[in-house]
Amino acid sequence: MVGKTKRLLPLAILLSSLLALAAPAAHASALTGTPFATLAGKTQTLADYRGKVVVVNFWASWCAPCREEMPLLERLRGRWQGKGGEVVGIALEDAKSAAAMARTLGVRYPILVGNADTLALMRSLGNQAGGLPFTVVLDREGRVVARLTGKLSEQNLRDAVEPRL
């Protein structure tokens, strides 16, 4: 029995590695294809940003680190916009609360409103605990190229985005 296990172990490792590599592509398409409401009540998907490097930041107004990083995201958006970069926030709350928070913090980047499936989407992107803030970087083709959990550091975010601009 031990001999069989030793022979199957490399195969199991290879298979799980291949599955791990294939999974992000499927999750990226789920992210870019998911319809979200805008603060104006229209429907939008992240596929609308194809051709740009997109920082997708999941947040909520009750999350202190989320509020703290929003001015950084706004500042970096200004730096990246002319180079094909964009920041999109996805609020895990109602549109009225999200709009009030964006106004209070002077956020001008697009804010989309999450729905009942947003937490499951975050988990499928690698955030198993569903913690906030959670940030995903999409390349120009809409592929997930970075996942950042917790409060962002400027350097980590710039390292994930700027080489792709």
The domain ranges of the chain are 27-164
User: pLDDT digits over 86-136, tens only?
Assistant: 999 999 999 999 999 999 999 999 999 998 899 999 999 999 999 999 999
> Under CATH, which architecture does the 27-164 domain have?
3-Layer(aba) Sandwich (3.40)
User: pLDDT digits over 118-132, tens only?
Assistant: 999 999 999 999 999
Nearest to 59 by CA among 141, 125, 144, 150: 150
Position 45 scores a pLDDT of 95
